[in-house]
Structure 1
Amino acid sequence: MVGSQGKRPCVVLTIRGSDNAYGDDDDGYVYPERYREALSPLETGEAMLALIYEPRRGGGRQAYVAWALLSAPPEPAGKTTKGQRQWRVRYDGGLIPLPHPVAQEEKEQVFETFLRTIPREERGPAQRDTSVRPLLPEDFSAVLTAAGLLPALTVTDHADRVQRERQAVERLVRDRGFRLRVLSAYSWRCAITGWSAPPRLSHALLDAAHWVAVKDGGSDGVRNGLALTPTVHRLLDAGMLSFAFQDNLWRLQRHKLLDNFELDGLGGHLQLVDGQPLMLPGDQQRLWPELPAHT
Structure 2
Amino acid sequence: MVKLVLMHKADSVYEDVPETVYDFPKSYLKAAREAVGDWVVYYEPVKAGPRGYFAVAQIAEIIAKPGVPDRYLALIKPGTFLEFDQEVPRLVEGRPLEASLTAVDGTPKSGGAVQLAVRRLAEADFARILNIGLREDLEAHEAGRYDPNGYQADEGAEIFRRPVLERLTRRPYRDVAFRRRVRAAYDYRCAISGLRLRNGGGRPEVQAAHIRPVERMGSDSVRNGLALSGTLHWMFDRGLVTVAEDMTILVSRNKVPGDVVARLIMPDRKLSLPADRHNWPHPENLRWHRENIFGQVMTDEAMPWG
Structure with greater strand percent: 1
Tell me the TM-score normalised to structure 1 length.
Answer: 0.49
TM-score, normalising length: structure 2: 0.48
Which structure's CA Rg is the greater one?
1
